[in-house]
Amino acid sequence: MVIIMKTDIFSKCFDFYHQLEAVKKAEKYFYFRTISSIQGPEVNINGRRFIMLGSNNYLGLTEDQRVKEAAIKAIKKYGTGCAGSRLLNGTIDLHEDLEAQIAEFFKKEASIVFATGMQ
């Protein structure tokens, strides 16, 4: 038996595409599913309810009315985001206020917060 290895990148992409389409058709593709509800303990996906096990909303803060009102207030003052990373030009007074409160809460000299764990 002779095995022919495909070395052409386009053939590999073509094969991968068709395998991926088969997975999607079988409804086994679990990425980029559109959620049409608040991301709480349960979510709506394509009209069906699912238990949400992959959210970072583990404290349920995204639906807390106080958090929503604070977010609206912050958006009105600062816009929808910082203009850059904290390191260069993205630090605003809210960051420093939060850091001071965290340090005080934990009885530490200082604290620092970042939007993601990748900074």
- What are the DSSP calls for 99-117, one per residue? HHHHHHHTT-S-----SST
> What's the predicted TM-score (pTM) here?
0.57
Residue with tokens 């993601």: 116
pLDDT at 72: 96
Q: What is the mean pLDDT of each run of 10 residues along the chain (119 residues)?
A: 73 91 89 83 88 82 92 94 83 94 98 74
What is the three-class DSSP state of 50?
A: strand
List the structure tokens of 55.
């959210």
The amino acid that residue 67 corresponds to is: V
pLDDT at 68: 94
pLDDT at 105: 98
pLDDT at 19: 94
